[in-house]
Amino acid sequence: MKNATITMFLVLLFLSFSCSNKKISEEQKPTIVKSKIVDKEVFYIKNYTEHGYILKSDIGKEINRLDKSKYFKLNFGTKVSVIDITFNDEKEYVLAECEGIEKIWINRDSLSRGFVVINTNDSKTNFLPNSNSETSLKLQAGDLGYIFSNYNGYTNADFKFYVTDENNKKSYAGNRWVSNTSYISNIDAAKQALYLYYAQINYERNNFKETNNFLDIAEKITNSYPFLNEKLHNLRAKITISPSTGDIIE
């Protein structure tokens, strides 16, 4: 029995080394590094809006079935400080403090350690935090990502965008490692990038009124950057407004 156990261990060890030495291919998934939460660690709301529970006993309940006094609505970019963790139906929730709210329970998946806003076109992406694992996918200025971790001059982030390549083929960006020099992490820039993302999505769906609404919201952010303003104005130029009524022509 002992010899069989040792043999099995050696086989598994051999297989693990074999897998680690395989050449990186486009089919491989990037290595995601999701660090453990430490006390008082700062996070940010990554969804356009998110609800948090005041009572631990309400965690997991449908918000529309709760009295409004039992939850808070939090907006994208809201800064929170984590002080405790719990689980409900295998989902992780954190007890957090944020401005104006003493304590609130929030779904862990709605939080990000920070934001990545790509600042140059055709920015390289990697499977691993090194220059030898470059992928074929390029990110464009204004693309928004949610930070998981940082290592060796690279940031691991999740990008929710579909990227168009030179053959006009769209690919889901998903999780990638990017160089720390390829982005900015300013909250206002992240907000504007998010609004421009929603504006672009609505434009592609021919929902021009919503496109214009999100462009208006993005334009109100004063602490902006030239590459984001350029993206805004380029999309705004595609919207046709009637000179007589001022209405958007769809």
Q: Mind spelling out the 3-state secondary structure of 134-194?
A: EEEEEECCCCEEEEEEEECCEEEEEEEEEEECCCCCEEEEEEEEEECCCEECCHHHHHHHH
Predicted pLDDT of residue 127: 94
- Residue 101: per-residue pLDDT: 86
pLDDT of 222 > 90? The answer is no
Q: Which residue has the higher pLDDT, 5 or 195?
A: 195
Q: Taking residues 40-69, report their average pLDDT.
A: 94
Average pLDDT, rounded, for the chain: 83
- Does position 11 have pLDDT exceeding 50, yes or no? no
How far apart are alpha carbons 86 and 14 in whole angstroms?
38
Q: How high is the pLDDT of residue 133?
A: 95
Q: What is the mean pLDDT of residues 70-77?
A: 95
* pLDDT-based confidence at residue 23 (cuts at 50, 70, 90): very low
Q: In this predicted model, what pLDDT tens digit does every residue of 108-125 receive, in sequence order?
A: 999 999 999 999 999 999
Classify residue 145 as exposed, middle or buried by CB count within 10 Å of its CB (0-12, 13-18, 19+): buried
Is 77 strand, coil or helix?
coil
Of residues 204 and 25, which shows the higher confidence score? 204
pLDDT confidence bin for 7, thresholds 50/70/90: very low
Question: Strand, helix or coil at 71?
Answer: strand
**Mean pLDDT calculated for residue range 28-40:** 55
pLDDT at 204 over 90: no
Decide the pairing of beta strands 170-179 and 154-164.
antiparallel
Mean of pLDDT values over 195-201:
93
> Is pLDDT at 29 greater than 70 in this prediction?
no
CA distances from 67 to 8, 25, 53, 99 (A): 56, 51, 11, 22
DSSP H helices, the chain, are: 2-20, 187-204, 208-219, 226-236
- Nearest-CA neighbor of 126 among 26, 34, 35? 26
Residues 6 or more apart whose CB falls under 8 angstroms from that of 46 comprise: 76, 110, 111, 112, 115, 146
pLDDT (average), residues 168-177: 80
53 exposure class (CB count in 10 Å sphere: 0-12, 13-18, 19+): buried
pLDDT attached to residue 239:
85
pLDDT band at 2 (very low <50, low <70, confident <90, very high): very low
Q: What is the pLDDT of residue 165?
A: 59
pLDDT grade for 168, boundaries at 50, 70 and 90: low
Q: Which comes out higher in pLDDT, residue 29 or 86?
A: 86
